[in-house]
Amino acid sequence: MKFNDAFSKGVEEANRKLKSDLQMQEVAAEYQGKKVVVNITDDSVYVFTISSDSIGYTTSSSNVPGDMYLETDSNIMSDMIQGKASTMKMLFWYSSGKIKTKGIGPKEMELIRKLLGK
C-alpha cells in the first residue's frame, strides 16, 4: 500500500480543515454520503467516504462500488500527488486510457485534490 501514508495524511489534513474552513464544509455537505474509490491497479484500492463533518478512509483488497471512481497505476498517481501532472499530461493519460473515471469531472477532481490535502 504505497500511498497509504500520503492518503492518510491528506484525510487528516482535510478533516482538520473541515472544522474551520467554510469552503471545505460546503464541499463536504454537497458530497455528503458519497464514496470515492481510487483503484491503483498495481497497488491497492483506497476508499474515501464523505460525510458533512468528516472524511473517512480505508483500503480494500478488491474493487468496491463507489459514486466516484478513479483508476490508474502507481506511477501516474505519484505524479498526481507530487504535483507533476500537468493539464496536458492528464488529458493524454485520460485519452489513452491510462486514467479511467466514473462520476468524476473537473469539479470532482478538485474534491480529490482536497482529499489529498493539496
Burial class (CB in 10 A: 0-12, 13-18, 19+), 19: exposed
CATH number at residue 60: 3.30.1050.10
pTM: 0.86
Instruction: State the total domains in the chain.
Output: 1
What pLDDT was estimated at residue 117?
54
User: What residue numbers bound the domain in which 85 lies?
Assistant: 4-115
Binning pLDDT at 50, 70 and 90, where does residue 116 land?
low
User: Per-residue pLDDT for 55 more than 80?
Assistant: yes
Q: Are 50 and 34 in contact (CB under 8 A)?
A: yes
